Amino acid sequence: MEAIILVGGFGTRLRPLTYTIPKPLLPLANIPMVERMVRNLPTIFDTAILAVNYGLEEMKNYFENRNVGKKIIIVPEEEPLGTGGAMRNCINHVTGTVAVFNGDVVNSINLEEMLEQHINKKAKGTLALWEIDDPSRFGVVELKNNKILQFQEKPEKGTELSNLINAGTYLLEREILEMIPPNQKISIERDIYPKIAGNGLYGFPFKGHFIDSGTPKSYLEANFKCLGNDGTASHPGASIRGSCLIHKSVRLIDCIIGPNAVIGPDVKLEKCVIRNSVILSGVEGYGCVVEDSIIGPEISLKEDKKQILISPEGEITF
């Protein structure tokens, strides 16, 4: 069975990080988010199809000669085709029911249960659904006996049909892909789902967690979720507080790390305090306090007696 992973977006909300690293290759707890997604696919999936526009060369380079446990097919788009156009572009590699994922989501969906429901209901499409208090910025569904009766994309506040939102994970029959006009920019959420609501579209509500890691704040949250609840790191050069992950190549002297800290490869820190932050590869720092931030890659943080302010966007003010 194939899984299509949509990994072609520009990742504008994570700029400037995504100018140098395409969002799918940004690490979550030191593993690129797309690799983490491929590795987490249940065994029933033998192939991951990556629909790529922005970041094509980086993606090819990353997966060339790398074994991630599944066959990888990279399908390029000359122009961004949107979520629907991108999956249509992969149709030649799809042999039957296909799973489609937004490549930046961390969640607790049980895909095997979702597939069982999809088969039992003889659905044309099944959408994983997540319940939230304010659904107005999302795709909202009206659900009855697991049938999606209506689909609203980003409804005006107060007009939402329910609190259930599209969680960006789908099981689709090939006929849904065939409905999408080829070589055109199409949004599956705006252009296709509203048309098939009430006609073979089902919902699969799930509990647990759901994080769209596309903003600086949610990228940090997704990293900490991938850490789990256990303190996973130890280092002779640091006092460790709470859950942390420190890459084996990291050099630390007199540091306090955690709670919630991910330190990437080749980082060198001395007399630094790192809390609730992700330090990407190659960062060097001396005498710094870093909180609630994403730093790097390849950035040098120098000691300063004044207060150092680091925004969630990773901007540093001395």
Binding site for ligand GTP (CB under 6 A): 6-13, 23, 51-53, 77, 80-83, 86, 102-104, 214
Half-sphere CA count of 111, side-chain side, radius 13 A = 21
Active-site residue 154, yes or no? yes
Least distance (Å) between residue 219 CB and ligand GTP? 10
By CB neighbour count within 10 A (0-12 exposed, 13-18 middle, 19+ buried), where does 266 fall?
middle
Cβ proximity to ligand GTP: between 170 and 246 the closer is 170
- Asked whether the beta carbons of 25 and 219 are under 8 A apart, the reply is no
Total H helices, total E strands in the chain: 8, 27
Strand pairing category for 164-172 and 98-102: antiparallel
Cβ proximity to ligand GTP: between 80 and 265 the closer is 80
Cβ proximity to ligand GTP: between 101 and 204 the closer is 101
CA pair distance 275, 224, nearest whole angstrom: 11
Q: Is 243 helix (H, G, I), strand (E, B) or coil?
A: coil
- Asked whether the beta carbons of 263 and 257 are under 8 A apart, the reply is yes
Active-site entry in 144, 154, 217, 302: 154
Least distance (Å) between residue 169 CB and ligand GTP? 11
Cβ proximity to ligand GTP: between 45 and 219 the closer is 219
Least distance (Å) between residue 189 CB and ligand GTP? 9
Least distance (Å) between residue 187 CB and ligand GTP? 8
CA pair distance 197, 80, nearest whole angstrom: 26
Annotated catalytic residues are 154
